[in-house]
Structure 1
Amino acid sequence: MAVYVYSIVAATHPQRLDRLDGVGDPPATLRTVRTKELSAVISDAPEELRPKRRDLGAHQAVQERLMADGTVLPLQFGFITTNDEAVRAVLEERTDEFTERLQALEGCAEYHLKAAQDEDALLRQILEESEETRRLNEEIRSGRSSPELPLALGELVAQEVSIRQDQLAAGVVEALRKFAREQRSSPVTGDDFLSVSFLVDRDSEKRFVSAEQGLAEALGPDFDLRLRGPLPAYSFV
């Protein structure tokens, strides 16, 4: 029977799975596949698996329970393979790789930061600080401009937005990276100009969070910084 794989831990990890349910309806029973060095937490895979709230919650609950007792390599939701033996074979074939990564994540948690800037505030800033943008805007508003000018203004504003947001994103990462062991950027969505994950040592968590809060205050009310964590280190597996 196909199996659903939640995470990989060291064989010495306590692996307390009592009173936890797996994915599926009815919920699957959790179990482990072990080798000498590693252990994978698995369950039978449901015939149809979709990212429903209950199943997402069950997957996350396993990661959080394991994370409370030690280092975890959390797999993304939805990882399914053929059977227990296939899982054991991968653990044996990639023992060194998984062990090295567990060591790299030891004593750490992931913090994910997204950031956006109020669009109207950004446009006002561009008009105030870019002489060429301001000139084109004033000419268009005068009613005496050529039909090409609105397009030229739009392209210029888009360039300014891209440059400024890239600089902002780089500045935010630079201010926080000193408190992290690693960082990984991911594609932005919506109005965000930044989406980045930090791997933070437990001993540095308070300083990291304090630095992020100070940064949010310094940027001001036109910015929206959303920090989530501590999380299982999905981005660094």
Structure 2
Amino acid sequence: MPTYIYAITGADHPLRLDGLQGVGDPPSPLRTVAGGDVTAVVSDAPEGLRAKHRDVLAHEAVLESLMADGATLPMRFGLLGPDDDQVGDALRRDGDAYRARLAELAGHVEFNLKAARDEQDLLLEIVAESDEIRELNERTRSGAAGQDDRIALGELVAGQVAERGKERAEKTLERLLPSAARAARAEPAAGQFLNVSFLVPAPSADAFVRAVRDEADRQGEACTFTLTGPLPPYSFV
């Protein structure tokens, strides 16, 4: 039977699993698989596992309890190993890397920040600051622009949107990085200029949140900052 993997810890972690339930219906009992100086918290993997609300909550509860007691590498929901023996083999094979990452993540949490700028506000700025775009826009609005002009306008605007978004993202990161240990960037969704996860020392979490709020205030009402956390440090495992 496949082995469901919740997390990896050091062999010295207290691993207090009493009262915790695994995924599945009925819930699978939790157990540990040791491999050298690291240990995986696992259970049997139920057939047809999907990200049901109960199972996601059970997974998160296991991670939160483990992280409260010591350094933990959280695995994302749904990670399976072939069986306990092969999970143990992997722990022994890659033990040095796991121990190094555990040392890095000890006492840290993750925050994810997504930032977007109001599209209309951005377009008004682009038109106001570019004579060429403003002229092409006026010709398009009046009906005097040909197909080539409309294509050129679209390309120029798209280029400016990308360039300005990149510049704003870099400045935002530059101001927030001093409040974090590390950052891991992801591709922003449409309409966003930034999607980044920060690794933050747990005692500094409140200060980091204040830094993000200050940055949101600095950028004004045209920008929307969505901060999620504290989370298990998935992005840094």
TM-score range, shorter chain: over 0.9
Q: How many residues align?
A: 237
Question: Pairwise mapping of residues 147-162 of structure 1 onto structure 2 (< 5 A)?
Answer: 147-162=147-162
Secondary structure at the counterpart of residue 171 of structure 2: helix
Distance in 2, matches of 1:207 and 1:129, equals 36
Report the Cα offset of residue 36 of structure 1.
4.5
**Cα distance in 1 between the residues matched to 2:163 and 2:79:** 38
Please give the TM-score of this superposition, normalised by the length of structure 1: 0.95
User: Which residue does the alignment assign to 1:182?
Assistant: 182
Gaps of 5+ in 1: none
User: Which letter does structure 2 place at the counterpart of 1:118?
Assistant: D
d(CA) in 2 for partners of 1:118 and 1:219?
A: 11
For 1:25, the equivalent position in structure 2 comes to 25
| In structure 1, C-alpha distance between the alignment counterparts of 2:14 and 2:234, rounded to whole Å | 20
1:95 aligns with 2:92: no
Bigger Cα displacement from structure 2, 227-236 vs 145-154: 145-154
Where do residues 26-175 of structure 1 align in structure 2 (5 Å cutoff)? 26-175=26-175
Query: Structure 2 regions of 5+ residues with no counterpart?
Result: none
Amino acid in the other structure paired with 1:105: L
Partner of residue 231, structure 1: 231
Per the alignment, residue 7 of structure 1 pairs with: 7
Deviant stretches of 4+, over 4 Å: none
Mapped to 1, the partners of 2:141 and 2:187 lie a distance apart of 36
Counterpart of 1:223, as a letter, is C
Q: CA deviation at 1:167?
A: 0.7
1:123-169 deviation line (CA, Å, top 9, x unaligned): 11111122211111112223322232122111111000000101111
Give me the whole-angstrom Cα distance separating, in 2, the residues matched to 1:146 and 1:82. Answer: 62
Task: Give, in whole Å, the separation in 1 of the partners of 2:10 and 2:121.
Answer: 50
Q: Secondary structure at the match of 1:148?
A: helix
* Residue type of the alignment partner of 2:175: A
- For residues 3-35 of structure 1, the C-alpha deviation after alignment (integer angstroms, 9 at most, x for no partner) is 100100111112222222111122211111124
Q: How far off is 1:75 after superposition?
A: 1.1
8 A Cα contact 2:36 2:91, kept in partner: no
Cα RMSD of the aligned pairs, angstroms, is: 1.3
Q: Tell me, what secondary structure is at the counterpart of 2:113?
A: strand
Alpha-carbon displacement from aligned partner over 1:90-124 (angstroms, at most 9, x marks no partner):
11111111111101111111111111111111111
Which residue identity lines up with residue 126 of structure 1 in the other structure?
A: I
One-letter identity of the residue aligned with 1:229: G
Following superposition, the deviation at residue 191 of structure 1 comes to 2.1
Q: 1:76 is paired with a residue of what secondary structure?
A: coil
Match for 1:187: what amino acid?
A: E
The alpha-carbon deviation at position 63 of structure 1 amounts to: 1.1
Separation of aligned partners in 1, 2:143 and 2:82:
68
